Amino acid sequence: MQRKHVLAAGVAVVASAVVAVGTGFGFADTTPARQSACQGSVTFSAEGGAPAATSDRFPVGTRLRVTNLDNNRAATVTVTGPSGSCVLLNAAAMELVREPGKNVIRRNVVERLDGAAAQPGGAAQPGGQTRPGSAQPPAQPGGAPAASVCAGAITFSAEGGAPAATSGQFPVGTRLRVTNLDNSKVVTVTVTGPSGSCVLLNAAAMDAIREPGKNLVRRNVVELLR
């Protein structure tokens, strides 16, 4: 009887050692992977001030932690207003996390620090106000106003090449027409890949419609071309 107890104890010790060794070598790692509250690349608006962000998913006052997985640098920011991205950093926040010379963070994790979920389709503005970019759309033939398929300000990724865009809403190959309502300039772009914005222009597309010195197109209409 005693021999059986000794054998059982020995087996338990060996099993514990195997589990410990397996965990040490990564075979039994139970650390949960962090899930990002946003999908796609993170970019910035070039706006000044203390580190902050704008968003079409989270209401003003939401605190977010943005981590660049390529260098493990993180920035904690507060949402200060709406934009056309799940999270759009300002210049100071981007400086905290980006790698030198890069204006896009492709591998990232965005965490909401209060634990609440993002609001699908964008957060409603208080008092029923219209988001920037949806006011006074250009008229279509026949007098009907054009409806924008994106809400919020439009910015750019600083990527080169012919005028193009990336999008978190439209598939590759989609053609979009973007109008800056402040100067009536228009650019037609094709979606070339994913991003964290409804539409994120590249440098050439942004230069075609922006006003001098401005890195945001706040009043805009984005039309889906058939």
Q: Which two tokens stand for residue 209?
A: 């419609």
Which domain does 205 fall in, by range? Answer: 130-224
pLDDT tier for residue 65 given thresholds of 50, 70 and 90: very high
For position 6, what pLDDT does the model report? 47
Q: Residues 94, 137: one domain?
A: no
Query: Checking phi first, is residue 152 left (phi over 0); if not, alpha (psi -120 to 50) or beta?
Result: left
Q: Residues 71, 98: one domain?
A: yes
- Is 119 part of a structural domain of the chain? no
- Is 213 part of a structural domain of the chain? yes
Residues of the chain with pLDDT > 70: what percent?
A: 70
Collect contacts of 134-138 with beta carbons under 8 A, ≥24 apart.
134/221, 135/181, 135/219, 136/181, 136/219, 137/179, 137/181, 137/221, 138/179, 138/181, 138/184, 138/221
For position 155, what pLDDT does the model report? 82
Instruction: Specify the pTM.
Output: 0.50
Give mean pLDDT, residues 185-197. 89
* Cα Rg of the chain (Å, integer): 24
- Is 1 part of a structural domain of the chain? no
For position 68, what pLDDT does the model report? 94
pLDDT tier for residue 108 given thresholds of 50, 70 and 90: very high
Give mean pLDDT, residues 183-194. 91
Q: For 25-180, where are the alpha helices, taking DSSP H only?
A: 91-97
Residues of the chain with pLDDT > 90: what percent?
A: 32
Total tally of structural domains belonging to the chain: 2
- Is 145 part of a structural domain of the chain? yes
